[in-house]
Amino acid sequence: MKEISAGGVVYRQGKDDLFFLMIVDRYGKVTLAKGKQEPGETIEETALREIAEETGIRGRLIEHLETVHYDYIHPASGEKVDKEVHYFLIEAYTSEITVQETEIQAVRWCTPQEAWQLQLQNGYKNNESVLRKALKLFGTEV
């Protein structure tokens, strides 16, 4: 079975500061906002919808960062799932967070250094290169 998802690295930039949106999922892992593509949606529409649903943040797509591929076993069916996740850099229009409590434990704005440390400490390994690319676009080398 094939599953396509999309999401992104969400940022907001002020005059003198830069913040990235980091999520702690229902499993207690640090992650990026993402979710499954719905019929008739483009991957870009999926990314923006999922970010808004999970965090309350609305934004605009800046660029495609990376497509990640991995397999997992579906917990209900036991079937192997070929997962494809498209990640975008998203500039937030809003900064007020509204957490989708059924899927998310916590969401917060972090400095680039905080975001990277959270990723290293408790993030999914397949998000590392995505976050690294986003940070590099803003001059933060990790």
Q: Give the pLDDT score at 60.
A: 97
Beta carbons of 23 and 60 less than 8 angstroms apart: no
- Return the SS3 of 132: helix
Q: Give the pLDDT score at 141.
A: 84
Alpha helices by DSSP H, listed for 12-127, are 43-55, 112-122
Q: Domains in the chain and their CATH numbers?
A: 2-137 (3.90.79.10)
Per-residue pLDDT of the chain (142 residues; tens, 9 = 90+): 999 999 999 999 988 899 999 999 999 999 999 999 999 999 999 999 999 999 999 999 999 999 999 999 988 899 999 999 999 999 999 889 998 888 899 999 999 999 999 999 999 999 999 999 999 999 888 7
Q: Give the pLDDT score at 61.
A: 97
Exposed e or buried b per residue across 61-81, where buried means at least 16 C-beta atoms within 10 angstroms of its C-beta: eeeebbebeeeeeeeeeeeee
